[in-house]
Amino acid sequence: MSGSSTEINQLSYQDNKKLVMELQVQQKELERQNEELKKTLEDLQESRELVSKIYDAGPVSYVSINEDGVIHHANRAFADLLNLSLASVINNKLTDFIHPDDRDEFYLFMKDHELQFSNAVLSIRLNRSKEHSKCFAMSGVRNYKLCEIILYPERLDDSCGVQTRCQLSNWR
């Protein structure tokens, strides 16, 4: 049935009644599906909030950068490493916080691991203040257009040079 008003006017009372009943059944089904969708969205929001709390409160530093190295997400532990507020870290390049002597190595590391899956870790120094830097091991996983990076103290004495293994996957 095309649904034109002429065709509807030509329907019998029984056909109209049947059509109304079918529409009511469809309406009830859509209402049920809408309630299920609302419940699913509520559950998803609760899960998202929980993951966000865990991410932000984690003892390990997490940071997400895009292909240009701009920080999209970071947790409080990362900002604390730098003695900065979280707001002052977001939307800045990660390299702004890497010791100048380690930036070339960071760029090469990211370029070398762009196209292949490999076991890789990079030792870098982060600038905690203008006069002090601290060594960290950096590892991560590329996820769509972001690179999820974990930074952790390399050794208790904060000296650089020890490397640990982790996996860094492909951008694509």
Claim to verify: residue 129 and residue 152 sit in the same structural domain: yes
pLDDT in tens, 128-140: 655 455 666 666 6
Give the range among 2-6, 16-20, 95-99, 116-120 with minimum mean pLDDT: 116-120
Same domain, 107 and 66: yes
Quick check: pTM over 0.85? no
- Tens of pLDDT, residue by residue over 21-44, are 999 999 999 999 999 999 999 999
Question: In the structure encoding, which two tokens stand for residue 62, read together?
Answer: 């997490």
For the chain, how big is the Rg over CA atoms in Å? 27
- Same structural domain, 96 and 138: yes
Compute the mean pLDDT over every residue in the chain, rounded to the nearest whole number.
Answer: 77
Contact 61, 75 (CB under 8 A): yes
Percent of the chain whose predicted confidence (pLDDT) is above 70: 69
Domain span holding position 130: 59-168
